[in-house]
């Protein structure tokens, strides 16, 4: 099985400041990690906390948008977005990789739609929605 699955992520926290890179052809790409926690009681009645990590990639549509994302995608901020979950063609699930100790790990990877990205801190939304390079401040999440 291969392909992409559309996902909507809400209420995740940014795990580390965004990194700005350039492809060999000069196109900017922004990378960041996002985490979502869930709490529940296990079968033994004890509380269990589970964290799911996403590796996120954003292809900004302009230099101004890339600058906005790097400035605002900071560790600890809440984030919401729409994107495509990359499906590993070999497993039909998350991408599998081997860490330095030889253990197999799984990675959920999302290509984020840059126009859906909503970054907030202390309830203030900072969402880049214009093509002119100006962030639209105070808009609500569209989904």
Average pLDDT, the chain: 81
Question: Does residue 79 form part of some domain?
Answer: yes
Which CATH number is 34's domain given? 2.40.50.140
Q: pTM score, two decimals?
A: 0.74
**Total number of residues shown for the chain:** 143
CA diameter of the chain? 55
pLDDT tens for 48-104 read 998 888 999 999 999 999 999 999 999 999 999 999 998 888 878 888 878 899 988
Name the burial class of residue 118, with classes exposed (0-12), middle (13-18) and buried (19+) by CB atoms within 10 angstroms of its CB. Answer: buried
Question: Does residue 143 form part of some domain?
Answer: no
Domain span at residue 126? 3-40+47-137
Question: Does residue 142 form part of some domain?
Answer: no
Question: Does residue 30 form part of some domain?
Answer: yes
Question: Does residue 65 form part of some domain?
Answer: yes
Question: Would you put residue 76 in left (φ > 0), alpha (ψ -120 to 50) or beta?
Answer: left
How many domains, the chain? Answer: 1
Neighbour-count burial for 36-47, b at 16+ CB within 10 Å, e otherwise: eeeeeeeeeeee
Question: Does residue 67 form part of some domain?
Answer: yes
Greater model confidence, 135 or 43:
43
If we measure between CA atoms, which residue out of 86, 92, 139, 82 comes closest to residue 115?
82
Taking the C-alpha atoms of residue 116 and residue 106, their distance in angstroms, rounded to an integer, is 26
Give the pLDDT of residue 4: 67
Question: Does residue 125 form part of some domain?
Answer: yes
Taking the C-alpha atoms of residue 143 and residue 26, their distance in angstroms, rounded to an integer, is 33
Question: Does residue 85 form part of some domain?
Answer: yes
């Amino acid at each position: 099985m291969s392909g992409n699955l559309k996902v909507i992520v809400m209420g995740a926290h940014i795990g580390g400041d965004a990194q700005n890179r350039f492809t060999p052809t000069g196109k900017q790409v922004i990378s960041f990690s996002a985490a979502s926690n869930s709490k529940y009681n296990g079968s033994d009645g004890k509380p269990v906390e589970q964290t799911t990590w996403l590796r996120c990639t954003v292809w900004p549509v302009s230099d101004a948008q890339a600058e906005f994302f790097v400035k605002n995608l900071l560790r600890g901020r809440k984030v919401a977005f729409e994107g495509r979950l990359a499906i590993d063609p070999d497993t039909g699930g998350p991408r599998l990789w081997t860490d330095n100790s030889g253990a197999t790990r799984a990675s959920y990877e999302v290509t984020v739609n840059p126009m859906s990205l909503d970054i907030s801190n202390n309830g203030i939304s900072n969402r880049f929605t214009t093509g002119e390079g100006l962030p639209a401040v105070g808009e609500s999440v569209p989904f």
